[in-house]
Amino acid sequence: MSIQFQGGVFKLETRSTSYHIKITDQAYLMHLYYGAKIGDADVSCLFPRAERSFSPNPAGYPGRDFSLDTLPQEYSGSGAGDFRLSSLAAGHGAVDLHYVRHRIVGGKPALAGLPSCCAAPGGVETLELELEDPVSGLCVRLLYGVYEADDFFTRSAVIVNRGTAPLTLHRAMSFCLDLPAEPWQLLGLPGAWARERQPERQPLRHGVQGFGSKRGASSHQHNPFFALCAPHTTEHSGPAYGFGLVYSGSYACLVEQDQFDTVRCVMGIQPEGFSWSLGPGEAFYTPEAVLAFSRQGLNGMSQIFHRAVRTHLCRGPWAHRRRPILVNNWEATYFDFDEQKLLALARRAAELGVELLVVDDGWFVGRSSDTSSLGDWSEDPAKLPRGLAGLAEALAETGLALGLWIEPEMVSPASELYRRHPDWCLHQPGRPATTGRDQLVLDLSRKDVRDHVWQQIDSLLQKAPISYLKWDMNRHLTEVGSALLPPERQGEAAHRYMLGVYELMERLFKHYPQVLVENCSGGGGRFDLGMLHYSPQLWASDDTDALERAKIQYGTSYCYPLSCMGCHVSAVPNHQTGRVTSLKARGDTALWGQLGYEMDLALLTEEEKAQVRRQCEFYKRFAPVLHAGAFYRLPLPGAPGQLAWGVLSADQRQIFVFHMAPAAQANAPVRLLKLPFAAPGLRYRETSSGCCFQGTTLRYAGIALPPHPGDCVTTLLHFQAQ
Ligand code: GLA
């Protein structure tokens, strides 16, 4: 039993963590503890009551030593004496939540219309805690999924209107977590287009700090993940909490250090611009969040997320299958292609070991630049005279499968679809629509619009044997309004849009589970746990420059496993940075995710072709081992800018190491890279040099990194236990 209830205290346990919650005498839900396993101990005594000036006492409480303002809570209300971050705000009055009942259930209830971690395999139990605001009739059902074996929790809140009058929610966060006064540091993954997920760590200060997105997508700018750790936490040791939101729309992550240095985190749908009208009896589901804690530092925390994603979030036949090596024509041709060019690319790719051709943007009628035609999803006869079916047939002769790019959420003003249905895009009456990349966003909160889009996707998948779909999204949401919602419900449009996207993606998953879907949003603009429920891989970034990409993949690894990162080798000079790097560096970097090529392979020399062949062979042989292993970031103190990481295979018998030296250094010192995860009792042979090492040597002494003349030099090592 991973959930126990004794003496008014709920004790939730995973393999190495405990989470304790107490029902107070006043029926408030008090957060007692979350961290390393503490067994059965009652830790209520850690919270002595004290009178605090300007911290008010709940109505009817006989003393002055109890206040919501100082009580660590499971889900904070608003306007009733707790002046810290609120989790829930509704109507114009206070929200004061009291425990009413609970249920412990085997398995895990699905969250209506939202992505969430699945129940199987490995087993999960759920604690449902019901709270109520007796005045308004607002009821909150807090859900705690306890993944005992995989060591993580999920949390979400279902808000139900049990009153007799409609209520408007203004804020409905997924979870609230209060942590004791310690000098926590906050690690987030800010970025930008082509510079996604660059880790940033800073000490918390008093007051509210945080980040989020108001873009209608989780965004390139801030990823919906953060970690809290101690100042002494390293990659390998020390406490680290990680929090990831399983959501792809606008969100907020807020952390407040209060007057007594305690810390409250709340995370969920972005409250700014959000409202939701809840009629009597209706329920609102907040997105799920994944919570992980490790004493093995940030790597320990990341590994829990990696397992959670691989085992419980990704679904379908592709979740654990080796994915095909693809060649994508985007950077090879941009819009300038036809069937002949595609087939020539495919033939060359097939010779090198590539397995699938992705026809990127530009295959549909009228699309010769990014200014038109989104929404008109039928083949351009000038480019594909035999259509997608004919192309697939010709491709099959080369041995390659067909993949297709599509951007189903969008419409170009210059399109047949827009001419027929101008009201189908998100818009606000009387306001001119802001464009982004010359396109508008379809109002996917509407079922009729979704049905139309589905029909388009369905007919494409019916007419040709498409085995891979790249689902793109190339602008953010503005003038977010829906023609079908009344004025007082327009605050629902952004979340309803997201629910609409999920509903479409679920249709795709249910009808075509065998189609491998890769989500993309101008690179990694919707690289989040929500998307991973519908597609097991996400295009990590439009930046494929080896050096920049290694940084992006390093940052991405804090929350996301290698198996979900789409990684391509592209041409040089790189189209985003202009940098020239070796084919080896580009390959060594891309080999850690789902490998692809995005370049004109005809321009390769014979020697380079041989190198690509070797990369493909390495990927086919080792990707399954790499992706199922335990991933470690390997910091190299004293060598700024250098990056290293490694993977220990599930059976501990293989070790893979990556190192990137960004800039040449004259007369450079010798750096030793320690592999603290090597199995001490094993002897490993590095397969390219033939050198043998004891596991203890790799752990405690390390390996000498080879000299690296030149810029952006990578080393890829593979150790095999003897
Ligand atoms: C986005 C994607 C690219 C490419 C283009 C096509 O930017 O990230 O990979 O598909 O769209 O327009």
- Cα 155 to Cα 226, 244, 288, 558, 599: the distances in Å are 15, 10, 6, 20, 43
Residue 41 confidence (pLDDT): 86
Residue 123 confidence (pLDDT): 85
Q: Please tell me the distance between residue 399's alpha carbon and the centre of ligand 1 in angstroms.
A: 25
Of ligand 1's listed atoms, the one at least distance from the Cα of 520 is: 8
Q: Which whole number is the average pLDDT over 119-143?
A: 92
- In this structure, the residue with its CA closest to atom 7 of ligand 1 is 522
CB 469 within 8 A of CB 404: yes
CB 494 within 8 A of CB 232: no
Q: How many whole angstroms separate alpha carbon 545 and alpha carbon 570?
A: 8
Q: Please tell me the distance between residue 661's alpha carbon and the centre of ligand 1 in angstroms.
A: 29
- Kindly report the average pLDDT of the chain as a whole number: 97
The separation between CA 115 and the C-alpha centre of its own chain, rounded to angstroms, equals: 12
Token digits for 547? 């050096």
User: Does any ligand 1 atom lie closer than 6 A to the CB of residue 410?
Assistant: no
Kindly give, in sequence order, each residue whose CB lies less than 8 Å from that of residue 603, ignoring residues fewer than 6 positions away.
Answer: 571
- In this structure, the residue with its CA closest to atom 3 of ligand 1 is 522
Q: How many whole angstroms separate alpha carbon 98 and alpha carbon 78?
A: 13
User: Does any ligand 1 atom lie closer than 6 A to the CB of residue 407?
Assistant: no
Q: Which whole number is the average pLDDT over 390-418?
A: 98
- Cα 589 to Cα 205, 358, 631: the distances in Å are 37, 21, 15
In the 8-state DSSP scheme, what is residue 318?
T
The tens digit of pLDDT for each residue in 302-316 reads: 999 999 999 999 999
DSSP string, 328-395: E-HHHHTT---HHHHHHHHHHHHHHT--EEEE-TT-BTT-SSTTS-TT--SB-TTT-TTHHHHHHHHH
DSSP string, 656-721: EEEEEE-S--TTPPPPEE--TTS-TT-EEEETTT--EEEHHIIIII-EEPPP--SSSEEEEEEEEE
Token digits for 573? 């000079």
Residue 122 confidence (pLDDT): 63
Catalytically annotated residues: 472, 542
**Residues for the chain: how many in total?**
722
Residue 706 confidence (pLDDT): 78
Q: How many whole angstroms separate alpha carbon 263 and alpha carbon 68?
A: 14
DSSP string, 126-195: EEEEEEE-TTT-EEEEEEEEEETTTTEEEEEEEEEE-SSS-EEEEEEEEEEEEE-SS--EEEEEE--TTS
Residue 315 confidence (pLDDT): 96
Give strand pairing partners of 362: none
Q: Please tell me the distance between residue 414's alpha carbon and the centre of ligand 1 in angstroms.
A: 19
Q: Please tell me the distance between residue 522's alpha carbon and the centre of ligand 1 in angstroms.
A: 5
User: Does any ligand 1 atom lie closer than 6 A to the CB of residue 186?
Assistant: no
Q: How many whole angstroms separate alpha carbon 414 and alpha carbon 572?
A: 34
Pairing of β 326-328 and β 356-359: parallel
Buried b (16+ CB within 10 A) or exposed e, 349-365: bbebbbbbbbbbbbbbb
Q: How many whole angstroms separate alpha carbon 718 and alpha carbon 165?
A: 65
User: Does any ligand 1 atom lie closer than 6 A to the CB of residue 331?
Assistant: no
Residue 217 predicted with pLDDT over 70: yes
Q: Which of 220, 364, 474, 539 to mutate to test the pocket of ligand 1 (most atoms within 8 A of CB)?
A: 474
CB 293 within 8 A of CB 35: yes
Q: Which of 361, 406, 468, 541 to mutate to test the pocket of ligand 1 (most atoms within 8 A of CB)?
A: 361
Q: How many whole angstroms separate alpha carbon 459 and alpha carbon 470?
A: 16
Residue 84 confidence (pLDDT): 98
Residue 144 predicted with pLDDT over 70: yes
Q: Is residue 518 helix, strand or coil?
A: strand
Residue type, position 227, single letter: A
Q: Which of 294, 526, 241 is nearest to 407 (CA)?
A: 526
User: Does any ligand 1 atom lie closer than 6 A to the CB of residue 542?
Assistant: yes
Residue 42 confidence (pLDDT): 86
User: Does any ligand 1 atom lie closer than 6 A to the CB of residue 403?
Assistant: no
Q: Which of 334, 360, 473, 521 to mutate to test the pocket of ligand 1 (most atoms within 8 A of CB)?
A: 360
Residue 121 predicted with pLDDT over 80: no
Most confident of 36-40, 46-50, 157-161: 157-161
Residue 386 predicted with pLDDT over 80: yes
Q: How many whole angstroms separate alpha carbon 593 and alpha carbon 615?
A: 12
Lowest-pLDDT choice from 35-49, 296-310, 427-441, 487-501: 35-49
Q: How many whole angstroms separate alpha carbon 264 and alpha carbon 177?
A: 6
Q: Which of 472, 475, 541 to mutate to test the pocket of ligand 1 (most atoms within 8 A of CB)?
A: 472
Q: Please tell me the distance between residue 485's alpha carbon and the centre of ligand 1 in angstroms.
A: 32
- pLDDT category at 637 given cuts 50, 70, 90 is confident
- Please tell me the number of Cα atoms within 13 Å of 342 on its side-chain side: 36
Q: Which of 149, 157, 121, 138 is nearest to 78 (CA)?
A: 138
Q: Please tell me the distance between residue 536's alpha carbon and the centre of ligand 1 in angstroms.
A: 18
Q: How many whole angstroms separate alpha carbon 189 and alpha carbon 529?
A: 14
Residue type, position 654, single letter: Q
- In this structure, the residue with its CA closest to atom 12 of ligand 1 is 361
Q: Which whole number is the average pLDDT over 703-713?
A: 89
Q: Please tell me the distance between residue 9's alpha carbon and the centre of ligand 1 in angstroms.
A: 51
Phi, psi of 242 (to 5 degrees): -125, 145
Helical segments of 399-463, H only = 416-420, 447-463
The separation between CA 541 and the C-alpha centre of its own chain, rounded to angstroms, equals: 13
In the 8-state DSSP scheme, what is residue 314?
-
Pairing of β 713-721 and β 251-257: unpaired
Q: How many whole angstroms separate alpha carbon 565 and alpha carbon 414?
A: 33
Residue 630 predicted with pLDDT over 70: yes
Q: How many whole angstroms separate alpha carbon 211 and alpha carbon 229?
A: 17
> Is the preceding peptide bond at 640 cis, omega within 30 degrees of 0?
no
Q: Which whole number is the average pLDDT over 616-635?
A: 98
First to last CA, the chain: 41
Pairing of β 222-229 and β 240-245: antiparallel
In the 8-state DSSP scheme, what is residue 590?
H
In the 8-state DSSP scheme, what is residue 320?
S
Look up tokens 């939701």; give the residue.
Answer: 276
Q: Please tell me the distance between residue 334's alpha carbon and the centre of ligand 1 in angstroms.
A: 9
User: Does any ligand 1 atom lie closer than 6 A to the CB of residue 363?
Assistant: no
Residue 40 confidence (pLDDT): 86
Residue 643 predicted with pLDDT over 70: yes
For the chain, what percent of residues have pLDDT higher than 90? 96
Token digits for 392? 């697939």
Q: How many whole angstroms separate alpha carbon 480 and alpha carbon 355?
A: 41
- In this structure, the residue with its CA closest to atom 2 of ligand 1 is 522
Q: Which whole number is the average pLDDT over 674-689?
A: 97
Residue 119 confidence (pLDDT): 84
CB 663 within 8 A of CB 641: yes
